[in-house]
Structures are given as C-alpha cells and as structure tokens.
Amino acid sequence: AGLGPKPQAERMFALMDRFLSNDPVSLQKDILDHVEYTVARSRFSFDDFEAYQALAHSVRDRLIERWHDTQQYFKRKDPKRLYFLSLEFLMGRSLSNSVINLGIRDQCADALSQLGFEYEVLAEQEGDAALGNGGLARLSACQMDSLATLDYPAWGYGLRYQYGLFRQVILDGFQHEQPDYWLNFGNPWEIERVHVSYPVKFYGTVEEETLNGKSCKVWLPGETVEAVAYDNPIPGYGTRNTINLRLWAAKPDGQYDMESYNTGDYINAVVNRQRAETISCVLYPDDRSYQGKELRLKQHYFFVSASLQDIIRRFKDGHNNFDDFPEKVALQLNDTHPSLAVVEVMRVLVDEEHLGWDQAWNIVCRIFSFTTHTVLPEALEKIPVDLLGSLLPRHLQIIYDINFNFMEELKKRIGLDFNRLSQMSIVEEGAVKSIRMANLSIVCSHTVNGVSRMHSELLKTRVFKDFYELWPHKFQYKTNGVTQRRWIVVSNPSLCALISKWLGTEAWIRDIDLLIGLQEFAADADLHQEWKMVRKVNKMRLAEYIEAMSGVKVSLDAMFDVQIKRIHEYKRQLLNILSIIHRYDCIKNMEKTQRRKVVPRVCIVGGKAAPGYEVAKKIIKLCHAVAEKINNDADVGDLLKLIFVPDYNVSVAELVIPGADLSQHISTAGHEASGTGCMKFLMNGCLLLATADGSTVEIIEEIGEENMFLFGAKVHEVPALREKSSDHKAPLQFSHVVRMVRDGHFGFKDYFKSLCDGVEGDSDFYLLGSDFASYLEAQAAADKAFVDQEKWTQMSILSTAGSGRFSSDRTIEDYAETTWGIEPCKCPS
Ligand code: 9GP
C-alpha cells in the first residue's frame, strides 16, 4: 500500500552527508551563527541565557533533520500508526533530554567550554514545559520517549496551553498560585506550522436534510475557531527516529468577525478574536475532580476535532476506503479527557463521509483503546447534558444514539435489570442529567486498561464491575513505567556512568532488563565504595539546593527522606507530617545519652495543591508550621530537619530523586492507581517506604519485601477498618500528636482544627490512625537499616537492579503488541 518511493526521498537519502555534523567545532560554528542571526546578539558579547538559546536552536536543527527523515520514512512505509491523544504532557526541559538522546551531550559540553560557557549552567536556563498536572501527564511524556526510542510510528496530540501548571509560591507557609507564562522568552523546541490549521466548530443547530433520497443530519455551527499546529520533535535514544508531539493553539477564524469590522465595530471584533484564543489559554490545575465547565469542554473538543481532522487528512492522502482505517490507525484515549473523539469519528464518518451507521460503528469499535488513571469516583468525568447539547448539539444526538443501541444490546444480555441498566448507561439521570465519559469510552473502545495490576483488578471488581462482567475480553492491565533516559541518564549522570562501568556496557539504556546484572555485584566491596560516593555527591547537590532555597543547612550524614508528589488526602502527606511531629516529640523527651542513637533525618516534602483544594492547602501550611518549629530548635539540631521544596516540577524531581536515601509512597491501599514516582526513586537506588498500593505491589515482587519498608492495611482490609469503631483504630501516639496540633503547638490552632477533625473519630476515611503504629514500625526499621551502611548500600543496589520491569519501554512494547497492533518502523541511519 502507499505511494511508493518518491524521487525526492531517494535523493534525500543519497545526500545524507550534507546533514549537520556533531563534532565540537561544527557545533561551535552553529551556536555562534544562532547567536548572531537567530538571537540577534553580537557573537562577541552574549550572556548565559543567549548562549542557551543559541545552543537550543543548534540542537533543534539536528532534531528537525531527523524529524523530517522519520516522517518521510513513515510516509513511504505507510505502517499502522498510533495516535496518542492526551490533554496533558509534562515534558519538563528539552535540552538535556535531547542532547542525551541525540548522543551529542559531550560534544556540546566541549564546544561550549571552548567558547567560555559551561553546559550545566546553560541547561539550567531552560524553564519547564509544564503542560500537565501530575502522574498522568508525566507518564505521557515518558511514553513518548519510549515510543520514539523503540521506533514505533506514533504521534502525540495535545493542547499548547499558554499558561502551564501554576507556579507555587509560598508566603508565610501558605500556597499561592502564580501564572506560569512559560512562553515569555520564546520556545525553541517547537515549530509553529502556520499552514497546518483546521477550523473547529461549536454551538449552532442540527437540521434534517435529504441527500440522494436519504435523510441525513447537518450541523450548522454557530462559532468557528482555528486550531494551529505546533510541532515538538521527540527524539529516540540510539536511533534516528524522531517522532512528533503536535500541540494545538486556538486562533480566531479569519471569517469570524468580518461582519463586525464591516459594520465599524472594531473594538468588539478585536475582543472577540481574543475570546477565541482563551480556549488554549490555561491548563485546569486540578487532577482530582471535574466540574462541568464550558471552557474545559471546549478544550476537549477543540483538541479532539483538530487532531482527528489532521489524522483523517493524513489517512486520505494515500487511502480512499474507510474500511482500511483500522488497519492504519490506532487511537489511544489517555483517560476520558479525549473521549469525545469516539463521537467525533462517528460524526465525521456518518455526516461528512456518508457511511452508514453500522459501517461507521464497526470502524469506531476497532480503533479506540482507553486507559483510565484513577480509582477515585469523583475523578470520573461527567458532562451535563445541557452543556454538551448547547456546545455540541450534533454530538449529543450521536451519544444518545450510541447509548440507545448499547441499552438494547444490554437488555438482550441481562434482561430488564433496571438497576444495572441505569448504572451502565452512558447517560446519567438525576438532578443534573449528565454524560458519563468513562462509560462512553468503555462502550466504544476495544480495550480498557488500568495502570497497574492492582488497579486493573479494582476496575474489574469495583469501579467497572458491570462492564467487566459484560465484556471480560476488553479488560487488560498495563503497569506503568518511566523512561530510564530521563530518570537515570539525564538526572543522575554519575550513577549512569557507574552502572555502565559495572555492567561493561551502555546497552541497558535501551535494554533495561540488563540492569539485573547488578545483582551479581550487590555485595562487592568496591562497588559499595563507588556507589556510596555517587550517592554522596548527589546528596551534596541536593543539600546545596536546600540551603540556597530555604537557608537551612542540612547534614550529609542524615538520612534524606523524601515525599514529593501532588498533595492529596489519599497520598497521606499528613501521615508523614504527624510522624515527623512524633519523632520530634520523642527526641525532645530523650535523655542526652539516648539521643546519640537517633538516626539523623532530613525530611523533604514537596508538591502542589489544586487551588480549590482547601484540605491540601492546610497540609502545606502545617508542614511549614512544623518545619518552622523544628528547624529553629537548636536543641534538636541536625537530628531532625523538615524542608518543604516549593514549586515541585520535573526539574526539581531530577535534582531531588538522585539525592534521596528513602522515599515515601504511603497512600491508603486501594487509592493510588499506580504511582510512577516510586519507579524513579527505585531506579536511582533509593529505598522505598510504602504501602502495598498500586505498582508498589509489583515492585515488591521484583526486589523482595526484605529490600523495602512496607507497612499498613492491605487493600482487602480497608473496608472493614473503615467500619471499625474509632476507639479501636488509632494508637495513643497518634492521638498525642494530633493533640499537639490541636493545642496550638505549631500555632494556627483554629486553622488546623478541621485537619485534626478529619483524621480523628469516624472521619478518618484514609485510615491515618489505624496505619500509624505500623507506619512508625516501618520508620524504625528504616532507621535501623540505615545504621548499617553496607546493608543499606546492598539494598540500594538491589533496588536499581530490580527496577527493569518499571521502564516505560516495557509498558510501550506491551501496548504495541496487545493493544495497538503496531510494529516498529525504523528509519535508516
Ligand atoms: O493518580 C494516578 C497515578 O497513580 C498514576 O501513576 C498516574 C499515571 O497513570 O496517573 C495518576 N492520575 C492522574 O494523574 C489523574 O487522574
């Protein structure tokens, strides 16, 4: 199939020697050219930021070459392609990742040093691309890296928000949100494609018309906005393949306001133009609940409609029969946010391509797969019918038709069980009649998966039980993974070098299973020596950052104990803080001689709270209030410090994770769908203190219980514990520390009252009280293990050695084979 080789393509491959060279001198020349012509500064006088810009453009040139080759090659080969639809991508910085994947880091460093610049200093000039909230968004970024590295013919699609995730600023211990205008200083990593744009329509009415003797529906939209493409090349590691992340920005439609201009209403016309741009203006900063907001729904449809127009255009350029569509296209719904795509494909096929309903439905059911990232019912999106009907009237009709057919099929299978029918219906009746986006996605997708084995079991037995009973074959599990390129090679270069030295190869960077080879040396004294040295250097780097950021000097002999992630009640940062209060209280009440036995700790907490999430914001304030007390208590000194790392993002994670001795993943069992932070820490040889929740259950299987610190109720015990009377749940130490907070030991007595109320008595939904005793035991076990540094180092080596299963390469291969049905398509080097 396809077009066959084109003469230009043949010639292009023949001219490979004209590609940019990667030796330091060529790089220097390119950098200076960009200083002069792109940044428009004199090549005799430019600062670090300008040097970063010039370097970024030089790297971008190389990315573009590979991008072109890859896209040409895909076009020639015409393989089945994966389109990964995600409303969020948390890419972080691009320079460091790109130079590693292109294999030109050392050459860049050499080139710069001869020009009087330091690579590391320039890399720090780049801000994070934070177009996402948390786990889901960072996972998308890791998966893009693996798709490129493994040569899969894939594209990502998303939104180019003008404002990414808010910047967290802490004033007097309280979180404040500031806009993240990440595009202020330009973005060299994207390519604006002014000629790639599509009209996206909203509102209006649906009319009935007759075409060729058949009646059909015609949508007469009321508003049109233009979607303009911005391409972000994603290079693979150790391959020429460079795939694309295409993000859409909203621009006013050319015709949009001609009338206003013509009637002289110039001001209104300009204001209207700005209104169009608001669609891609801001990322919603809440990964916890969805409120039926019109702008959010507009964002969903805007990105879905533009992406599908683009995908269908590409398909039609070489194919003229839509029955071939499922052979060429796999569409991945990353959570429910893009799920209007199923409806849009139906609309395009039926209304615009004039396929029959059944033929179109058959195509839809073969192209979509759906991943859900949550177990929290409040995070399952529902869209009020009134809102959907006004914004997308034709789509609402199609949803009703899909639901009607589904309900008819269901009645044949289960009879008139109205309770089940109404639970499975895509349309939820009730005070606010709504569309259940998860139900819509399940009905229309060929596979549905959770993101860890435990999560997928919970989907089958609880969240989507009825659907599992109906279609067991649809349900899969795909345990998440993270990319070792970003999380070891980029963020922990000294560990990377050490691993390569002991394994005798760098091949593990593409083939992570090789890491298991470290097991053989886990007791080797020489490796211990070198491993400890690497860890110490990373701790020094982190300690310097802490001092610069907070003014607190921390001891490198202390255990660096880290909990960094979004602030959520279920993630139980409060449990951590209460145990820190307990530790503080114990130290204060000890004799001086006893204190010598205390293992010094530096507790590091970081994470953002959704702006409207009051409890999470109070947890941040409590952390600061406790830190204020402890860090200023000279009597406690280096035995205990508490640090809150503000504005936690990908770059902060790259600094903190390699420096951590212990990391905490302590959600109430059954609440964390997977967790990916734990995988990053594991790869970096950090020991885990964890509950058996999400992916930690599988980590236990890989590295053994004896190499981590486990505690807490198991998932099957949670319901009974919630029933249990409060008097039997919490130990005395727990009541004591909560009392300290209540009594104003850390100030803000009234402000913290509701936090205390929420974890005492019958309101302790997340079981802080009943898990407290075993949590303290696990903490004590960690202290004990830390005293024996050789043992600790061995556990650390075994953690890294056992982390292979948690690479996103493994996850992506699994999706490719068992969900998407795609094959690698490697562009010749
Ligand atoms: O909370 C989940 C987290 O457990 C998971 O690892 C991640 C990636 O699958 O997704 C998170 N969910 C979200 O970020 C939004 O629901």
Instruction: Specify the pLDDT at position 639.
Output: 98
Pairwise CA distance, residues 236 & 145, whole Å: 6
Examine the pLDDT at 335 and tell me if it is beyond 70: yes
Mutate to test the pocket of ligand 1, among 133, 372, 676 (most ligand atoms within 8 A of CB): 676
**Ligand 1, atom 13, residue with closest C-alpha:** 136
pLDDT tens sequence across 758-782: 999 889 999 999 999 999 999 999 9
| Residue 133 Cα: closest atom of ligand 1 | 14
Q: Where do the domains of the chain lie?
A: 13-77+102-124, 78-93+128-478, 542-799
Task: State in Å: Cα 42 to ligand 1 middle.
Answer: 47
Average the pLDDT over 48-73 and give the result. 98
Mapped onto helix, strand or coil, the DSSP state of residue 77 is helix
Task: State in Å: Cα 373 to ligand 1 middle.
Answer: 5
Examine the pLDDT at 744 and tell me if it is beyond 80: yes
Task: State in Å: Cα 134 to ligand 1 middle.
Answer: 7
Neighbouring residues of 400: CB distance < 8 A, sequence distance ≥ 6: 427
Residue 564 host element (H or E): strand 559-564
Q: Which amino acid is at 601?
A: R
| Residue 139 Cα: closest atom of ligand 1 | 8
| Residue 376 Cα: closest atom of ligand 1 | 16
Indicate if 542-799 has the same CATH topology as 78-93+128-478.
Answer: yes
In this structure, the number of other CB atoms found within 10 A of the CB of residue 331 comes to 27
Task: State in Å: Cα 478 to ligand 1 middle.
Answer: 13
Task: State in Å: Cα 695 to ligand 1 middle.
Answer: 11
Pairwise CA distance, residues 60 & 50, whole Å: 15
Nearest to 656 by CA among 626, 287, 664: 664
Average pLDDT of the chain to the nearest whole number: 95
Select the CATH number that applies to the domain covering 78-93+128-478 from these four: 3.90.280.10, 3.40.50.460, 3.30.450.190, 3.40.50.2000: 3.40.50.2000
pLDDT tens sequence across 76-101: 999 999 999 999 999 999 999 999 99
- For residue 217, name the pLDDT band (cuts at 50, 70, 90): very high
Nearest to 503 by CA among 515, 487, 491, 486: 515
| Residue 676 Cα: closest atom of ligand 1 | 6
Catalytic residues: 373, 565-566, 571, 676, 680
Instruction: Specify the pLDDT at position 2.
Output: 47
Mutate to test the pocket of ligand 1, among 86, 88, 131, 136 (most ligand atoms within 8 A of CB): 136
Examine the pLDDT at 256 and tell me if it is beyond 80: no
Average the pLDDT over 573-598 and give the result. 97
Share in percent of the chain as helix, strand, coil (round to 5): 55, 15, 30
Pairwise CA distance, residues 117 & 109, whole Å: 8
Point out the least confidently predicted range of 181-195, 227-241, 263-277.
263-277
Residue 775 · residue 579 · CB < 8 Å: yes
Strands (E), 266-377: 329-334, 368-371
Task: State in Å: Cα 136 to ligand 1 middle.
Answer: 5
Point out the least confidently predicted range of 59-68, 326-335, 371-380, 449-458.
371-380
**Ligand 1, atom 6, residue with closest C-alpha:** 675
Examine the pLDDT at 259 and tell me if it is beyond 70: no
Pairwise CA distance, residues 398 & 261, whole Å: 36
Nearest to 141 by CA among 714, 133, 67: 133
Examine the pLDDT at 178 and tell me if it is beyond 90: yes
Main-chain phi, psi angles of 775, to 5 degrees: -65, -45
Nearest to 364 by CA among 318, 401, 407: 401
- For residue 286, name the pLDDT band (cuts at 50, 70, 90): confident
Pairing of strands 427-428, 434-436: antiparallel
Average the pLDDT over 365-377 and give the result. 94
Residue 142 host element (H or E): helix 135-149
State in words which class domain 542-799 has: alpha beta
Neighbouring residues of 205: CB distance < 8 A, sequence distance ≥ 6: 219, 220, 222, 393
| Residue 138 Cα: closest atom of ligand 1 | 8
Strand partners, 167: 178
Q: Which amino acid is at 640?
A: L
Instruction: List the strands of the sheet with 601-606, edge to edge.
Output: 640-645, 601-606, 559-564, 662-665, 687-690, 709-710
Instruction: Specify the pLDDT at position 5.
Output: 57
Which residues line ligand 1 at a C-beta cut-off of 6 Å? 134-136, 139, 287, 373-374, 379, 451, 480, 672-676, 694
Residue 87 host element (H or E): none
Examine the pLDDT at 282 and tell me if it is beyond 80: yes
Pairwise CA distance, residues 683 & 705, whole Å: 16
Q: What is the 3-state secondary structure (H, E, C) of 639-678?
A: HEEEEEECCCCHHHHHHHHHHCCEEEECCCCCCCCCCCHH
Instruction: Specify the pLDDT at position 376.
Output: 82
Point out the least confidently predicted range of 129-133, 271-275, 309-313, 355-359.
271-275
Pairwise CA distance, residues 819 & 813, whole Å: 10
